[in-house]
Amino acid sequence: MKKILIGFILLIVVILSIGIYKFDFKNQKQTSIYDGTYKINGKEYTLKNGISEVTETSGSASKIITKAFGNRVSGDFDNNGTEDLGFLLTQETGGSGTFFYFVALLKFSDGDVGTEAVYIGDRIAPQTTEFRENGVIIVNYGDRNPGESMTTRVSLGKSLYLKLNPQTLQFGEVVQNFEGEADPSKMNVYMKTWNWISTTYNDGKKITPKQEGKFTLTFMKDGSFSITTDCNNAGGNYSEKDKKISFGSIFITEMYCEGSQEKDFIKGLEQVESYYFTSKGELIFNIKFDSGSIIFR
């Protein structure tokens, strides 16, 4: 009985480790949910196990590497009654650039169809991707200001609004008038009390609050800040200049709460080094060494 139980547990572990992959029993091969053929700048690239490697020119050792990045979003993009898959992919062409694109894998009764890619930017910092009921897909990301070099840390929040044309199966950009949207140039850290939305690390780890509205951050103009968590209150001093920011020693009350996320929340703030705002009214903190970001709204 014990051996059967151990075997069952091992089977579950194997299934979970497959993650975004599925197994094709008919052909006995592993495939990725992102696998398909997509068009970038007029040329087709076919992902197998989430990656494509092709030589740049005949006889050249240089390769064009196209990979599924993730940030996937699901929805009926073409309004045909089936759920489609959208995601970001990257492409490296042998130079120093890493170019980001948005593509979709559309589901039809006779098979999947990959769309033409929409260019987002070079070495950007992807944040979130959303699908709204009106059929609009929103790609949120961090970028550099015009004229800044690629060595400059991202400090500008951007959102790309896209909608699929069911006839051409191509995405077009939806022009926004931003009525009611935030103006990042007029925002500042002490304009409101900020609510923690999520912390995402570049190793794939993501932490979101179990209790909405419990984690808040308030800045004062005198250089102090206050925090509420799902357990304690905290505070301290901060220094801020030219979108660089750091938190000093954080003083916190010492009540114990079972299952609290307080340590994760505080740890993230202690690692912050810069920030920027988005047109969605978000405050984005960059974590040191490009290791992740924290979103407040």
Q: What is the CATH number of the domain that holds 286?
A: 2.40.128.270
Last residue in a domain, options 173, 207, 223 = 173
Q: How far from 71 is each of 60, 101, 270, 286, CA to CA, in Å?
A: 32, 11, 26, 18
Task: Tell me the pLDDT tens digit for each residue of 185-197.
Answer: 788 898 888 999 9
Q: Do 210 and 127 have their domain in common? A: no
Task: Tell me the pLDDT tens digit for each residue of 124-136.
Answer: 999 999 998 778 9
Q: Do 37 and 150 have their domain in common? A: yes
- Do residues 35 and 50 touch, judged by C-beta distance below 8 A? yes
Query: H-type helices in the chain, by residue range?
Result: 2-18, 262-270
The tokens describing 263, both together, are: 């340590």
- Do residues 105 and 84 touch, judged by C-beta distance below 8 A? yes
Instruction: State the Cα–Cα distance between residues 288 and 274, nearest whole angstrom.
Output: 8
Instruction: State the Cα–Cα distance between residues 27 and 24, nearest whole angstrom.
Output: 6
pTM above 0.85, yes or no: no
| Mean of the per-residue pLDDT values of the chain | 85
176 pLDDT above the threshold of 80: no
Q: How far from 12 is each of 19, 116, 146, 163, 205, CA to CA, in Å?
A: 11, 37, 49, 38, 21
Last residue in a domain, options 173, 199, 223 = 173
Structural domain of 65:
30-173
Q: Do 159 and 54 have their domain in common? A: yes
Residue 192 in domain: yes
Q: Do 89 and 114 have their domain in common? A: yes
